Structure 1
Amino acid sequence: MPIKVLIIDDSALVRETLSQILNSDPDIKVIATASDPIFGVKKIKVERPDVIVLDIEMARMDGLTFLRKMNETVDPIPCVVCSTMVAEGSENAMKALEYGAAALLQKPALGTRKFLEESKVRICDAVRSAYKSTSNIKKLIPSPISSRIHSPQPKLSADVILEKPTSLTTPLETTEKIVVVGASTGGTEALKDFLTMLPDDAPGIVIVQHMPEHFTAAFASRLDGLCKIHVKEAQNGDAVIQGQALIAPGNYHCLLKRSGSRYFVEIKEGPLVSRHRPSVDVLFRSAARYAGKNAIGIIMTGMGDDGAKGMREMHDAGAFTIAQDEASCIVYGMPGEAVKNGGVDKIVPLSNIAQTMMNSALIRSR
């Protein structure tokens, strides 16, 4: 069966053009269109789509409000936001990602029809990607689709990214504290709150936030302007140093490595791990291996279980591990799974994570 799509856009021209584009792909079928989210909800009640293509600026209810409400439900439908208002690094783009958009497509203010027609492959790929998204993996299992769309890949572990260690143990030649952080849905705002609370002499930090390619640099730049510490998108070989946070680039795995007493990051391509790239599990497992008891791990709001296994490995290697509590999470999936897996030393509200981390770094450095 093809992927069923609902288009919600206040422009009749856009609805028509997107319908023609998506219906031209044999693996996709537009089952309904709506001029705003209120009408869209009525269409969903008649027949549930697999993916929603969503505009932002609409009458009665804007797309961001609908997206937020959708991703607060028990069984959200993945949404591709297609709008003139999601320029790279814009506030709307950041909010759309925070509210759980599976993909973002920016329409031009003029020449929309020509742009959409020329972007056919990109639009269809965005719908496929959304259909396969982690937040909706349970719908993939019972819903066979045509052979041209690959069935869901096995849920790979960090073994596919991390090379086998050359020895059973790696000597820790430094006592410098390193912090690794994982977050997903709701994480952009949670990270902002956490990082802005840190002093300029905070330990070096490496962050994986599930975010599409090309958006992490703008996200890091935005945070850099708000924080006492320096925040930047990680590049291969960047040193992990005091007073700086590195954010894994979208669509690449980020590993913590060490050479002597120097910590640095390695940016790698590779398959999805725990159905994500970058994967929190990859970062956390590398921290367990190369930093051990010198590491502090933090897992924040997010859907799914990415990071739960890696945090347990960090815990078992002697690291101090922190999970955001359920009350302060947008989605308690990732922290909740880490707690269930036995890898969490302390569960604290978002407002207390920075202080808890700094206290731990101070105590463990003595």
Structure 2
Amino acid sequence: MTIKVLVVDDSALIRNLLGKMIEADSELSLVGMAADAYMAKDMVNQHRPDVITLDIEMPKVDGLTFLDRLMKARPTAVVMISSLTEEGADATFNALALGAVDFIPKPKLDSPQDFNEYQDLILEKIKSAAHAKLKTQRAAPAVVVQPSHKPALSNRVINTQLVAIGASTGGTEAILSLLQQFPAVMPPIVITQHMPPGFTRTFAERLNKLTRLNVKQAEDGERLLPCYVYIAPGDQHLEVIKVGGSFKTRLTQGDKVSGHRPSVDVLFNSVAECAGANTTAAILTGMGKDGADGMALIDEQGGKTFAQGEQSCVVFGMPREAIKRGVIHHVVELPQLADKMLNYLASLKRD
């Protein structure tokens, strides 16, 4: 069975470009192309697509309004096509909160190589979206619990432990849900979420507003502090190194690792090397296997490893791969994951 795809975009150029890319793949079937939400609504009812690529900025009815109505009337896997602006990034994260599975920036195709890379990426995202769990099918997010009900962490734990998190497809909302469950006082947290340049700063700002922690996009060479969360910038690997008695960030433009830059494996490997048994790591929803090798090294060095359970994942690929390797100590659905991690940290020897 081929995957039925509907393209919704007010630009004829983008519609035709995406249409040609989809038609070139034997696993996909282009069932329609719509220039606005009204045409899209009719085509959704007529063709019942498996996946919709949806432009955020459209005339008459914008992409977010259409997405909200779609998710209430006929939940469908949606990949947002996003503009590389601050407003576009904000709208993208709102779309993911409404239930879109994934997003990709609008194409900037200055060379044949750009075209081929973009085609590979959009086709991969469409296929992944077709097999993703929609918001209505996943375990409900946890209700945010007040800090007084969370176990207190010792000063030694706060100042010696590192928390590392990796995610891909579905990760933006999973990370938000997880961080909202954490109290304001935590060891430093480092996160790699697969995301293109131009979106990670807005993502960090969003998390900073919606959680008790101080969240920022990581900069090169900064000292990791308790109560802070550091997000890997798009298109740069985030590593942690130890300088003297302090953990510091290192950003690099090295080759893609496990198919990605930033790579979860790069982050996890670095944390395993410099923090060892003082590492608490979680691998969340995502396509592929990035993070499995790094989790193996964290396990080998004596750190504690967690994986998000299948029922709450948008895509179970990354957690499944790490679980298959036998390097995950606890598999926990997202609503309970923060409590499990906090209980572990609270159980460590007090000062």
Letter in 2 for 1:136: E
1:8–1:40 Cα contact (<8 Å) kept? no
CA distance in 1, matches of 2:219, 2:83: 30
Equivalent residue, structure 1, for 2:66: 62
Q: What is the deviation of 1:124?
A: 8.1
1:186 aligns with 2:186: no
> What is the CA RMSD across the aligned residues, in angstroms?
4.2
CA distance in 1, matches of 2:93, 2:244: 38
Equivalent residue, structure 1, for 2:143: none
1:325–1:335 Cα contact (<8 Å) kept? yes
CA distance in 1, matches of 2:189, 2:223: 10
1:87 aligns with 2:75: no
**Cα deviation digits, residues 147-182 of structure 1 (max 9, x gap):** xxxxxxxxxxxxxxxxxxxxxxxxxxx981000000
Give the match's secondary structure for 2:285: coil
1:88–1:218 Cα contact (<8 Å) kept? no
Equivalent residue, structure 2, for 1:103: 104
1:33 aligns with 2:33: yes
- Given candidates 326, 333, 336, the residue that maps to 1:342 is 326
Sequence identity, in percent? Answer: 32
- Given candidates 274, 278, 297, the residue that maps to 2:281 is 297
Letter in 2 for 1:121: L
Q: What is the deviation of 1:131?
A: 2.5
- Given candidates 263, 267, 278, the residue that maps to 2:262 is 278
CA distance in 2, matches of 1:358, 1:237: 28
Structure 2: tracts of 5 or more residues without a match: 128-157
CA distance in 2, matches of 1:356, 1:24: 47
Taking structure 1 as reference, are residues 242 and 134 closer, same or farther at Cα in structure 2, changes over 3 Å only? farther
User: What pairs up with 1:68-147 in 2 under 5 angstroms?
Assistant: 71=77, 79=79, 81=81, 87-90=87-90, 92-96=91-95, 99-105=100-106, 121=109, 128-133=116-121, 136=124
Taking structure 1 as reference, are residues 259 and 223 closer, same or farther at Cα in structure 2, changes over 3 Å only? same
Please identify, of 179-188 and 94-103, the stretch whose mean Cα deviation from structure 2 is larger.
94-103
Equivalent residue, structure 2, for 1:317: 301
Q: What is the deviation of 1:324?
A: 1.2
- Give me the TM-score of the superposition, normalised by structure 2: 0.71
**Cα deviation digits, residues 300-326 of structure 1 (max 9, x gap):** 111221111211111111000111111
Q: What is the deviation of 1:258?
A: 0.8
Give the match's secondary structure for 2:261: coil
More helix by share: 2
Taking structure 1 as reference, are residues 122 and 82 closer, same or farther at Cα in structure 2, changes over 3 Å only? farther
1:260 aligns with 2:259: no
CA distance in 1, matches of 2:7, 2:333: 38
Give the match's secondary structure for 1:200: coil
1:312–1:341 Cα contact (<8 Å) kept? yes
**Cα deviation digits, residues 245-283 of structure 1 (max 9, x gap):** 101011111011111321111111022211111111111
- Give me the TM-score of the superposition, normalised by structure 1: 0.69
- Given candidates 178, 185, 192, the residue that maps to 1:208 is 192
1:135–1:303 Cα contact (<8 Å) kept? no
Q: What is the deviation of 1:343?
A: 1.2
Q: What is the deviation of 1:183?
A: 1.1
Q: What is the deviation of 1:134?
A: 8.8
Letter in 2 for 1:104: P
- Given candidates 231, 248, 251, the residue that maps to 1:247 is 231
1:179–1:206 Cα contact (<8 Å) kept? yes
CA distance in 2, matches of 1:64, 1:250: 27
Taking structure 1 as reference, are residues 37 and 272 closer, same or farther at Cα in structure 2, changes over 3 Å only? farther
Structure 1: tracts of 5 or more residues without a match: 73-78, 106-118, 140-173
